Amino acid sequence: MTSIKEVAKAANVSVSVVSKALNDYPDIKPETKERILQIAEEMNYSPNLAGRNLSSKKQMNIGLISSAVFNSSEKDTNAYQVIKGIYRGVEDNNHELSVFLIDSKKQKQKSYAQFCRERNIGGAILQGLRMDDPYFKELVDTNIPCVYIDHITDEKSENIGSISIDNYAAGIEMTDHLLERGHREIVVIGGVEETFVNAKRLEGARESFRKHGIPLPEESIIHANFDEDQAYREATELLKKRQPTAFLCFSDLMAYGIMKAVKEAGLTIPEDVSVIGFDDLPFSAITNPPLTTINQNFFDIGNEAAQLLVKVMEKKQSSQHVMVNHELVERGSVRDIHKR
Amino acid sequence: MTSIKEVAKAANVSVSVVSKALNDYPDIKPETKERILQIAEEMNYSPNLAGRNLSSKKQMNIGLISSAVFNSSEKDTNAYQVIKGIYRGVEDNNHELSVFLIDSKKQKQKSYAQFCRERNIGGAILQGLRMDDPYFKELVDTNIPCVYIDHITDEKSENIGSISIDNYAAGIEMTDHLLERGHREIVVIGGVEETFVNAKRLEGARESFRKHGIPLPEESIIHANFDEDQAYREATELLKKRQPTAFLCFSDLMAYGIMKAVKEAGLTIPEDVSVIGFDDLPFSAITNPPLTTINQNFFDIGNEAAQLLVKVMEKKQSSQHVMVNHELVERGSVRDIHKR
DNA sequence: CTGTTAGCGCGTTCAG
DNA sequence: CTGAACGCGCTAACAG
């Protein structure tokens, strides 16, 4: 437990000089700084973060507030990848990460603002929160810099940023992919309707249909809550009535449910029915057949979120929306109807 | 940013009384305590953790030091589930969690002991660390209470606990499962040889063979590093020479690699070759065919780890090894040779 | 039962 | 360039 005091004693200087040496203050003789640094190194000294937190005005703590971890399917590993990216981004910028995982099944939750206050949090990354969450509103009102993942706000605040892929463009691409391969009987399997990403993807899909001069009837759009099982059930029902040539799914998880339903209906993919997904979960490469889907780089999303937040916290950058690249990866679940 | 001082002022008492009211000290009049609590509530006060950390002797911070997150396959979500369990366990015990993710690809890493020192960490959960890691040794030497996940140490320290399923028993069960269904040409696909869990599972497999009076030749044991791709390659090579009736895999991930190799060799599962896995990853239910495997409840493992650590930190329990239940889940990848 | 005092380990004035 | 003094928010020991 070597403290700054002991280092000061060993170096024959006062604590404040040690502090300055450690924190790159300009008003210190290079030689003594060098010497102190060396002694600190030898003594295996590293500053206590609680002490530093308490005395410093600088905000070095970043909060990750996420409801995506406890409230999503075990198969849904997106949040995990995002968090890895956040962790790396925070670490690379020499900040600290405090994680707050929301579990909607738990009775009473601590307010997000309180969480931040207790931990001297200078900026927060928000993942999977509902916009009608009162705690969310409270947090925004505190004016703590925030970065939203997969959501854009209307508020024009200088300390609010956001990050996502270009869901609109991706929606167009995946729909184009189907349309250009001759599919006309397409059923769209949407996620949670009020969700930003879902809305954008749907807009994209609509635009693609419009562009191709093909109608997209409302009854061909089904919302399955980003849930595998619900998608499975919806598709099972639907297939009793009609047989589309393709399902366009706004998540891989839902695509898995669709594939199960299609197989159980005695149809084969992609010969009878095509399926396209969204996310590119690791397992989409080994489904049967492997799933054609939109790849999102979740690690990058998290990483960029952290970097953006740090910039906003340092006032080096005002609020903005950052787009991360996506990519359509073509595998074996979509048939080209033109070829036989 | 309301502080304890302001609460004290509002309540017309000194700060120490407020502190005592908040921390359930016995020497305080119930009425004033009630009053203070209410005022604190009204003022939306919650204590600053840095301040508390600095002054209190109690160690409320728990560290999670894991190399399993950055150094494993994206498909391997075990670590994720374990961490969820840890988070919940730590939260339920009103402790704080600090996470340190080791990335072996990064050049210089901070020492684990230093990480703990900087953050006043009173106990640590260790996941996926190598026993020959010098930082690991250094941390243990600090005498900070530790709980190992999936590893048992020889050291007899009062502050070291460990947790895992009964890998030996599970190894027996899965081997019995194959042997009892008439399999005799079995190839064991092991993981990382030096690993505790691998050794135990192998011991169990050997015991099962011995019990059944059947030899297990050494050349039928292949170590594939818990790696899907390596298992795939090993199996591909092996199948060119001989065709076992079953592969016994010490992880689901390796089982996936085996299944791929088997299919590519033109064989079908389970008719020609059976496969049994270990872990029960979420996707093992939807592989083709669904994988028979040993289910580990990773959430519970993490959760129990946190609870055990808290007990050890509070000296309520001396070191011990906790076993979490496992279960063989029978799906469609093992054929009973007796039946046709 | 309550208040006073003294730190915890550090960053930050402000004199020198 | 260096050091003394102060305070961050809180708990703990000790008087009263």
The model scores a pTM over 0.75: yes
- The per-residue pLDDT for A106 is 85
Interface size A-B, in CB pairs within 8 Å, comes to 83
Is residue A47 less than 8 Å (CB to CB) from chain B?
yes
* Higher pLDDT among residues B31 and B246, named by residue: B246
**Residue B211 carries which side chain, given as an amino acid letter?**
K
Q: Taking the mean position of all CA atoms in its chain, how far away is CA B116?
A: 20
- Tokens in use for B128? 């996926």
> Tell me: the pLDDT tens digits for B281-328?
999 999 999 999 999 999 999 999 999 999 999 987 776 899 999 999
Between CA A44 and CA A171 the distance in angstroms is: 54
- C1' nearest to CA of B26: which nucleotide? C1
Q: State the nucleotide closest to B55 in CA–C1' terms.
A: C8
Mean pLDDT per segment of 10 residues, for chain A of length 340 residues?
A: 89 90 87 90 92 91 96 92 97 96 87 95 94 90 93 82 96 98 97 94 98 96 96 97 97 97 96 97 93 98 97 83 96 90
Strand ranges, E, within A110-250: 121-127, 146-149, 160-165, 186-190, 221-223, 246-249
Instruction: Give whole-number Cα distances, A89 to A301, A311, A331, in Å.
Output: 10, 12, 31
For B48, the closest of A101, A120, A286 (CB atoms) is A120
- Is residue A11 a contact partner of residue A39, using CB atoms and an 8 Å limit? yes
From chain A residues 74-113, the ones with a CB under 8 A of any chain B CB are 74-75, 77, 80-81, 84, 87-88, 91, 97, 99, 101, 103
Contacts of B6 (CB under 8 A, 6+ apart): B43, B45
Q: Which residues of A touch B44 (CB under 8 A)?
A: 114
Q: Supply the pLDDT for residue B316.
A: 75
Q: Rounded CA gap, A89 and A142, in Å?
A: 24
Nucleotide nearest to B6 (CA to C1'): D9
Any chain B CB within 8 A of the CB of A117? yes
Beta-carbon separation of B46 and A117 below 8 A: yes
Contact yes or no for B282 and A75 at CB 8 A: yes
Nearest CA in chain B to A142: B1
CB A187 within 8 A of CB A165: no
> Domains of chain B (ranges plus CATH)?
4-47 (1.10.260.40), 61-165+298-324 (3.40.50.2300), 167-296 (3.40.50.2300)
Query: In angstroms, how far is CA A251 from the centroid of its own chain?
Result: 14
Query: How many angstroms separate the CA atoms of A321 and B63, rounded?
Result: 34
Residue B181 is predicted with a pLDDT of 97
For A24-68, write each residue's pLDDT tens digit: 888 888 888 889 999 999 998 999 999 999 998 899 999 999 999
Statement: residue B149 has pLDDT above 70: yes
CA A228, A230, A231, A237 dihedral sign is positive
**pLDDT confidence of residue A340:** 67
pLDDT at residue A57, rounded to an integer: 85
Per-residue tokens: A138: 């409270």
* Beta bridge partner(s), residue A189: A222, A249
Please report, for residues A110, B45, B87, the alpha-carbon distance to residue A101 in angstroms, rounded to integers and kept in the order given: 10, 21, 8
Q: How confident is the model at residue B156 (pLDDT cuts 50, 70, 90)?
A: confident
Residue found by looking up tokens 């956040």 in the block: A86
Consecutive H or E run containing B262: helix B252-264
A286 contacts B287? CB cut-off 8 A = yes
What are the chain A neighbours of B103 within 8 Å (beta carbons)? Answer: 88
Lowest mean pLDDT among A158-167, B25-34, B275-284: B25-34
pLDDT of B153 over the 90 cut: no
Which of B69, B99, B119 is the closest to A49 by Cβ? B119
pLDDT > 70? residue B340:
no
DSSP state of A223: E
Residue B19 confidence (pLDDT): 92
Distance from CA of residue B209 to its chain's centroid? 28
CB contact under 8 A, B70 and A54: no
The 10 Å CB-count burial string (b at 16+, else e) for A114-151 is bbbbbbbbbbbbbbbbeeebebbeebbeeebbbbbbbb
Contacts of B127 (CB under 8 A, 6+ apart): B64, B65, B66, B67, B68, B79, B82, B149, B150
Q: How far, in Å, CA of B232 to CA of B63, rounded?
A: 36
B131–A contact, CB cutoff 8 A? no
A70/A262 Cα distance (integer angstroms): 30
What is the reported pLDDT for B90? 97
Nearest to B120 among A48, A77, A256 (CB): A48
End-to-end CA distance of chain A: 73
Cβ–Cβ under 8 Å, residues A152 and A320? no
Rounded to the nearest angstrom, the minimum Cα separation between A281 and chain B is 9
pLDDT in tens, B157-202: 888 999 999 999 999 999 999 999 999 999 999 999 989 999 999 9
Task: Say whether residue B141 is in contact with chain A using an 8 A CB cutoff.
Answer: no
